[in-house]
Chains A and B, each alone.
Chain A
Amino acid sequence: MTDKEIIEQLKKIVGEKNVQADKIGLTSYGYDATLLSGVGLAAVFPLSTEHVVKLVKLANEAGFSLIPRGAGTNLSGGTIPDERSVTVNFNRMKKILDIDTDNFVAVVEPGLVNFDLQAELEKEGFYYPPDPASYKATTLGGNLGECSGGPRCFKYGVTRDYILGLEVVLPNGKVIQTGGRNFNSEPEYDLTRIIVGSEGTLALITKIFLRILPLPAAKKTMLAIYNRVEDASQTVSDIVAAGIVPTTLEMMDNLLINTAEDATGAGLPRDAGALLIIEIDGHPEDMDEQVETIAGICKKARVREFKIARTAAEVDQLWLARRVVIGSVARRRPSYSLQDITVPRSMFPNMVSGILQIAKERNLEVGILAHAGDGNMHPLVLFDQRIEEEVERVHLAEKDICTLALELGGTMSGEHGIGLLKKKYITLEFSPVAMDCFAKIKNSFDPRHLLNPGKIMNLQS
């Protein structure tokens, strides 16, 4: 089939309005939140499971590949197309099919934006815990593809923990349902878990059964400022050891405190070593006791400022620095590369000092943002994309950071995935036996490598 014929067929399947095939229009679907980009054969917007089935069948017949895409906010190059691929944009399949608060389930289409679901749930006093920072734009299908996390994960877990079941189209065009509306619905192998986080390489998700929870009755937000990162880190360990599981333990280092202060003028001390936002939720009767315990722990760790938000406005005030921080680095340098390593909590101080050491060696500015409770860190490596030599050093620093995380018993991806960006490092983390297992999984689902080829790892068909 010629490209032109393929495009004609695509139009027959989803309708003329739902196909984008001119090269200029396609650039909109060729990039994500990384520096990578590509131009595919076409971009299509299916409206139903039936459309997806037909697309898969056509892809099998005509021999092109399919790249599933939500909002393209991923940080892994996971949705970058090549010239032999058709991007399948799910953002026109965005219906909420059911919200059943009595039984803690919502059923949605994959193109639904995380925020739009949250807004609907909130009306009923419910929420869906995974809250990636990009939740205002990201689609749930994309969240599932990457198994997104977010600040609340420490207490509530990541995306995979909230998926009860899926309807997917397999690469052979068959539609199956995995799991269902309840725990214990899986047909033997936990197909739901292997598909969630598979970065669109195993199946195309067309329907999602999500676990939803009632909003907690009470919440408390605290801000702690330290002279040294080690003290913040000690606080985190001690809170956990005290049996308190905060929803959020967000940390920013000195560089980011300064860029945030540049942007907001909120009055953060510029010489502070680290800032910690601590949030707990639960029964109203338990809040005071926990806040008191946390205050004691912070004090023991030589906190220099400790604030408890008394009003909603004060909560916003405490969160202000964290909300603006990623944007705020733009005042310093035009580009940043956001890393995503995770280390065991006990290795947190070693990782922080290691990153600062790498920054020094590579002559780069690196700010550290972390979901400190779970050891997930996002070092922001600042640079200027126009200076080639500096970009080279950024890549070297990326590799150094991944290698160090692995040396400290961690992983190179806590919540963003591997995609194209970290593919070249994946064998640092996984043995040949593990890589062979991945290949077996891929070949069981997609022996012809039709779905998102070249992501996570390279395979011979």
Chain B
Amino acid sequence: MSNEIVNRIKGLVGEDHVVDSPAGMVRYLKGQGQPLAVVMPGSTVEVAEIVKLANKENLKVAVGGLSVESRGLDGGLAMVMSGMNQVLEIDHANLTATVQPGLSHAEFSRILAEQNLVFPPEPYAPKTGSVGGCFALGGADSQAFQYMPVRTYLLGYEMVLPNGDILEVGNKCIKNVSGYDMIHFAVGSRGTLGIFTRLLVKLLPPPAVKMALVADFASLPKACQAIATLIKRRIFPTRLNLLNPTLAARIDPGAKGNLVMVDLTGFKNSTELLAEEMAGIFHLAGSGEVRIVKEAEAYAKLWQEWLDLRGELNTTWAERVLDFNVGPMKLAAVLQALADITGDLAAYPGLVVEGLLGRVRLLLPAAGEKEEMAVKVNTLAMSFGGNVSGNFGSKLVCRAYNDAEMWEGIESLLGQIRRQFDPKGILAPGVSL
């Protein structure tokens, strides 16, 4: 039976685009699940045919750019989109690009740079992330204060729905309120509503000037104070990130303490003035060393290291990362209170702060502690008007309010939407809402 299905899939996409030996499949899979085959479609029609077959035969399907999460995928199909990796169009007049979902995010950025254009979202994982994955995961990265969350860069898409239908929505207009907003609703749905087969994304012209500031702070509270001072003085750089000494050492082997990393982009006059002003603020706040990075290569290297670190947090370390948000001006107080739970944060395995967003990520010593820590940290975050992010955070908030009814309301609505789109529950079995 399973052989017959694999043969039919080979018939749909060609033998060369199906891998069904366990040894061959390993490189495409994350986790311990054992799918029937890895399939690499080359077109929308092929994706639709595979999904229709899966529907008929009740096979689970999970999708990825280069590799696929195999949780819950036993006996199902892992769909790798790397065969659909083309840039179909770059439209300079309207500042848009049409791309296939398997296009590597890093490669896309490179192609655009050559054309003097920018796709601002930070890659989820620089080495493996695809543009399709970027939108399937959504979220807001450390540039979001200026550039807005990832979803704002999606203008339209083509998607194969769980029943094999092909949905096309969107256009090259940034203002579009026609019908329900399926465009942005799909962002962050992690492959549960359908499989992207084409994406229409918004681009920007590059900023005139880019530079970075790196400030070394022996004291974490003082680094937080410096961030607060910038916000109070209404200085909003593109990125304003903070790493504790453990992680700082990965980026800058010479770093002695906590590292504040600032990205400044914009017009020449203001950017240069702001860089000087910020350097002054950091010195006054107690930074032992402030570097202004203007040289293009050093600038690029610095932010690539940030992206690589972010990639590690999102992938290799994901099970150990606890992510929560509070307001940006509450960071100093929150971190002080957090140290009561974690002990000295300077010695902790990892602390990453996105200052303008008020986002904190803790790298826990071991994955096993996550749930217990999440409960404690969520209580703390809530006392500052924030919460642990994602569904789990939402559940914890409801639990803290003792509001079982609200949680039930959210859970049943999410489940209802998923069932409406995917009544047989074939897509993204590893994703629980």
Contacts and interface: CB of A to CB of B under 8 A. Distances in A.
A244 to B, nearest CB: 9
Contacts of B174: 153-154, 157, 374-375
A160 B267 contact: no
B95 interface: yes
A182 B325 contact: yes
Q: Counting chain B CB atoms within 10 Å of each CB, which of A102, A157, A178, A186 scores highest?
A: A186
Interface in B320-344: 323, 325-330
B420 A444 contact: yes
A237 B268 CA distance: 22
Contact of B177 (A146, A185, A374): A146
A183 B270 contact: no
Contacts of A188: 188-190, 390-391, 414, 433
Given A102-B327, A426-B178, A456-B180, A193 B151 contact: yes
Contacts of A344: 91, 93-94, 96, 171-173
Interface stretch (A18-26, A31-39, A263-271, A281-289): A281-289
Contacts of A161: 148, 152
Given A157-B152, A429-B178, A184 B359 contact: yes
Interface of B: 91-96, 138-140, 144, 148-149, 151-152, 161, 165-169, 171-182, 184-185, 187-190, 205-208, 231, 234, 266-270, 273-274, 323, 325-330, 357-359, 385-387, 389-391, 393-395, 397, 405-406, 408-410, 413-414, 416-417, 420-421, 433
A283 B391 contact: no
Contact of A182 (B94, B269, B359, B410): B359
B267 A412 contact: no
Nearest to B183: A193
A436 interface: yes
A342 B155 CA distance: 13
6 contacts: A149-B175, A186-B188, A188-B190, A237-B93, A411-B177, A441-B180
A415 B175 contact: yes
B43 to A, nearest CB: 18
A315 interface: no
Given A187-B414, A418-B179, A181 B385 contact: yes
Given A103-B329, A241-B205, A286 B266 contact: yes
A294 to B, nearest CB: 13
A199 to B, nearest CB: 9
A373 B173 CA distance: 10
Q: Chain A contact residues (Cβ within 8 angstroms of B): what range?
A: 35 or more
A187 B181 contact: no
Contacts of A104: 327-328
A14 to B, nearest CB: 22
Given A193-B181, A413-B178, A433-B166, A243 B206 contact: yes
Interface stretch (A89-97, A169-177, A223-231): A169-177
Contact of A190 (B171, B188, B234, B268): B188
A283 B267 contact: yes
A374 B181 contact: no
A175 B190 CA distance: 25
B171 A197 contact: no
A243 B208 contact: yes
Given A411-B175, A417-B177, 10 more contacts: A174-B406, A174-B409, A181-B327, A184-B140, A282-B267, A285-B267, A375-B175, A415-B177, A441-B180, A457-B179
Contacts of A240: 95, 205
A344 B273 CA distance: 36
